[in-house]
Amino acid sequence: MVSYRKRGNAWQYEISYKDSHGQYKKLRKSGFLLKSEAILAASKVQTEHPNLMTVQSGNETLVSYYNRWIKVYKQNAVSPITYNKYQNTAKHAAHLFGELKLKSLTKIIYQERINEFAKNHARRTVSCFHKQLRACILEALDEKIITTDPTRKAVITGKERPKIAKTLDYDNWRKLLHSLDTAQPGELIIYLAAVTGMRYGEIVGLTTDDIDFESYLIKVNKAWDYKYKTGFMKTKTPSSVREIAVSKQTINKIIQFLSNKDISSKQPIFMNNLGHVLVSAEINKILTNKLASLHIPRITFHGLRHTHASILLYKGVSVLSVSRRLGHSNITTTQSSYLHIIKELESQDQDKIISILNSASK
């Protein structure tokens, strides 16, 4: 049963219905300038929500619904690291949306809160936050808890990160290597990244069992979750499991580093006595300070991986060998990542070809 009445200058509809326990309930909404608008809105509610129970669910806050959603749909379906990201989104959502109810969430409110989040976060972070929150809101739409998608056509912005160099040139790479005190864990980590192209998680996940001291090999078969501290984890991809040839000098530096340490073969070699492994922010700070002291343009730690690959390519190592050394899933990944270098090398090859042909025709 539906009734209508005027409250001040606005119209209100009131729908009476029985809940699942047979108890009479009333659903009211006001604020309509015309009675015809109230009639149309009430009709839409009755059509889209025959039992009206989902409309009542709209009284739940967005944050509460999101927390229930990730627990039901994500907790046992994604990795602990990925689930932790969903939980981080929940914390940000609680700050931005507070006690806002699902039924009160509009496009303009959603955009305002996304804009607020973007003031202090990079565009990529804002995009990830929006993606996870939107998936939950679309679920509420499917359940007919809400009738429209407030996230539709949301505009994603974010802080622009200062541009920094991606790689070091050969001379600066050598300069960095010669300056590192590899008796220090942070600087040995930097050294290994520069001479192997290993990812950070792969390096800090190394144990003594992973070092072949006689064959001069480093075996990558796992990684360390330095970010969320869940312990050892799988490598990024199956192809990341590999053996990396290193120099005798590199092995000697590792031996020297381990000489005064009592480390279990199952313990990361870079874990200190308190069970702490350097996180990415700490190692990037060490690298930044080292580069500044050498008057070398700043790069990120991940830039050491790009530097290693770039130098090998410039020195004539095949793309296939570089791809395997980096643990890429296929050679296409390597080619797309270092396309500018490969094109430059192709240009040099063309000059060599012409030179050979000219010599042959003389």
Return the percentage of the chain with pLDDT > 70, whole number: 93
- Contact yes or no for 147/137 (Cβ under 8 A): no
Q: What pLDDT is attached to residue 18? A: 67
Residue that has been written with the tokens 């991940």 in this structure: 302
pTM above 0.85, yes or no: no
Q: How confident is the model at residue 53 (pLDDT cuts 50, 70, 90)?
A: low
Using alpha carbons, select from 253, 254, 221, 215 the residue that is nearest to residue 237. 221
Q: What mean pLDDT comes out for the span 235-261?
A: 94
Does pLDDT of 190 surpass 90?
Answer: yes
3-state SS assignment for residue 220: strand
DSSP 8-state symbol, 308: H
Q: How confident is the model at residue 41 (pLDDT cuts 50, 70, 90)?
A: confident
The C-alpha atoms of residue 250 and residue 216 are separated, in whole angstroms, by: 8
Q: What mean pLDDT comes out for the span 103-132?
A: 94
Q: What share of the chain is helix, strand, coil (3-state, %, to 5)?
A: 55, 10, 35
Catalogue all structural domains in the chain, each as residue range(s) with its CATH number. 2-57 (no CATH), 62-142 (1.10.150.130), 170-344 (1.10.443.10)
The C-alpha atoms of residue 151 and residue 186 are separated, in whole angstroms, by: 43
Q: How confident is the model at residue 227 (pLDDT cuts 50, 70, 90)?
A: confident
Say which amino acid occupies 27: L
The C-alpha atoms of residue 238 and residue 250 are separated, in whole angstroms, by: 26
242 φ, ψ to 5°?
Answer: -165, 170
Q: What pLDDT is attached to residue 72? A: 93
Does pLDDT of 38 surpass 60?
Answer: yes
Does pLDDT of 158 surpass 60?
Answer: yes
Q: How confident is the model at residue 355 (pLDDT cuts 50, 70, 90)?
A: confident
The C-alpha atoms of residue 285 and residue 278 are separated, in whole angstroms, by: 11
